[in-house]
């Protein structure tokens, strides 16, 4: 797929090329009576906002007004995701999914009506006491200094919180959330209520996806040494997972705060993502893959370049091979896609390491840098012949350590 929007999983030439859309000026507020189409869902880190006008809608399709925001001028809302919609007149508009701290008031608000809220801090100076009185000084938690924390981060492998970084105090994690977010590409991305007692229950709406989801669940649970994800029911769940349409927006999988969608068309296409495979054969095949999709040579995804599916002379090119029984290769890929999206629910954003389950070739999506990013990148850092995390549905130690960190930060 040519373009990559929102939280998505892509691999090698067919999915490695990133298409950037031109910037659009946001139109005026879209009224609920208009027909709108959701074209992109992008997770964002939780930030406080307030609004004094406009309405809150029940869904991203803006079908029903549920609150008049002038009645909630003093209510602080926290952002979870940013949604791009297109109106019937082909104009774009941007909405934020926000929720109050309690989670009772939540919905979609026109982005321009939301203003970042910074509460005023008031320092109260105590009254002087008589000389004979004794006054107990408040105790201050023993926090690590920012300088010492940054030294520990610098000594740890890139984007991998190791050693003492995973054994600091609760106060350290609460005080330096923004430092951890930026240095390890993590954030609070799941909606309120998705994780309860450190667990999320997933209702899979299509029975066809259940075995794939179960394998992805097992990978995270085994890696983290606890029951983080479980399969839920229609009546009892905190997340949903189903098929969706990623053809226009260009995703194979997308996480949107309290659910995951898998692209239905690509999932059912046996030539995706590796090209033609002898699906009836039980003999292993070796596929040669390259992110160089300008030449049109090779097997699988690179061959699609001959049809001009992707063309980007600025790409960094990585070559590798993958071997396996055709049917198992496809199954493993889609398990990898779902494992990647579950990683986003845990608060993990992308890394430039192809071997990671959370890999992405660039830190930019739709012309915008991801929310929390240590540095920008435009190509993978891995050497040739590195096995891709999504292709093999494999978690690296960096994936696991970052997930352990986000638990300590309170993101799941």
Fold of 189-408: Collagenase (Catalytic Domain) (3.40.390)
Question: Which of 119, 113, 86, 118 shows the shortest CA–CA distance to 98?
Answer: 113
d(CA 195, CA 258): 10
Averaging pLDDT over each range in 40-49, 137-146, 276-285, which range is the top one? 276-285
Cα–Cα distance, 37 to 62 (Å, whole number): 10
**Domain formed by 36-116, architecture:** Roll (2.30)
Question: What is the predicted pLDDT for the residue at 181?
Answer: 96
Q: What is the pTM of this model?
A: 0.70
Query: Ranked by mean pLDDT, which of 54-63, 209-218, 269-278 comes out on top?
Result: 209-218
Average pLDDT over residues 385-409: 96
Residue 7: pLDDT above 90?
no
In the chain, domain spans: 36-116, 189-408
pLDDT of res. 129: 46
Residue 376, number of CB atoms within 10 A of its CB: 11
Instruction: Report the pLDDT value the prediction gives residue 43, as an integer from 0 to 100.
Output: 75
* β-bridge mates for residue 47, sequence order: none
Q: Distance between CA atoms of 57 and 411, rounded to whole angstroms? A: 26
Give residues with Cβ within 8 angstroms of 363, minimum separation 6: 350, 352, 369, 370, 373, 375, 376, 377, 378
Quote the CA–CA distance of 116 and 101 in Å, as a whole number. 15
Residue 310 has pLDDT above 50, yes or no: no
Spatial separation of the C-alpha atoms in residues 367 and 83, rounded to whole Å = 15
| pLDDT tens digits along 208-247 | 999 999 999 999 999 999 999 999 999 999 999 999 988 8
Q: Identify the bridge partners of residue 49 per DSSP, sorted by sequence position.
A: 77, 116
Cα distances from 94 to residues 44, 260, 317, in angstroms, run 13, 20, 34
């Amino acid at each position: 797929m040519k373009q990559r929007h929102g939280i998505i999983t892509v691999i090698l030439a067919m999915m490695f090329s990133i298409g950037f859309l031109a910037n659009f000026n946001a139109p005026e507020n879209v009224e609920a009576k208009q027909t709108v189409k959701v074209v992109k869902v992008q997770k964002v880190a939780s930030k406080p906002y307030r609004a004094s006008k406009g309405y809150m809608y029940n869904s991203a399709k803006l079908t029903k007004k549920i609150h008049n925001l002038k009645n909630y001028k003093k209510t602080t809302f926290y952002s979870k995701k940013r949604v791009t919609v297109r109106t019937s007149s082909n104009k774009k508009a941007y909405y934020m999914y926000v929720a109050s701290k309690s989670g009772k008031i939540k919905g979609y608000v026109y982005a321009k009506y939301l203003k970042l809220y910074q509460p005023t801090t008031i320092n109260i100076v105590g009254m002087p006491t008589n000389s004979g009185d004794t006054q107990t000084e408040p105790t201050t938690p023993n926090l690590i200094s920012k300088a010492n924390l940054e030294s520990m981060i610098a000594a740890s492998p890139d984007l991998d919180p190791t050693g003492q970084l995973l054994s600091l105090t609760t106060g350290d994690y609460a005080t330096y959330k923004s430092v951890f977010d930026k240095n390890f590409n993590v954030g609070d991305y799941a909606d309120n209520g998705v994780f309860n007692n450190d667990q999320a229950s997933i209702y899979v709406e299509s029975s066809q996806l259940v075995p794939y989801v179960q394998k992805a669940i097992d990978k995270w649970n085994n890696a983290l040494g606890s029951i983080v994800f479980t399969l839920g029911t229609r009546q009892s769940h905190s997340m949903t997972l189903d098929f969706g349409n990623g053809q226009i927006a260009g995703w194979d999988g997308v996480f949107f705060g309290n659910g995951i969608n898998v692209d239905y068309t690509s999932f059912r296409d046996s030539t995706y993502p590796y090209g033609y495979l002898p699906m009836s054969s039980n003999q292993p095949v070796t596929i040669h893959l390259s992110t160089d999709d300008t030449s049109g040579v090779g097997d699988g995804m690179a061959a699609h370049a001959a049809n001009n599916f992707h063309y980007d002379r600025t790409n960094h090119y990585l070559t590798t091979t993958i071997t396996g029984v055709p049917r198992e290769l496809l199954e493993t890929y889609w398990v990898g896609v779902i494992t990647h999206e579950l990683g986003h629910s845990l608060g993990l954003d992308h890394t430039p390491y192809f071997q990671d389950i959370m890999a992405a070739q660039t830190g930019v999506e739709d012309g915008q840098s991801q929310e929390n990013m240590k540095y920008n990148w435009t190509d993978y850092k891995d050497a040739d012949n590195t096995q891709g995390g999504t292709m093999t549905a494999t978690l690296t130690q960096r994936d696991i350590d970052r997930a352990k960190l986000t638990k300590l930060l309170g993101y799941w």
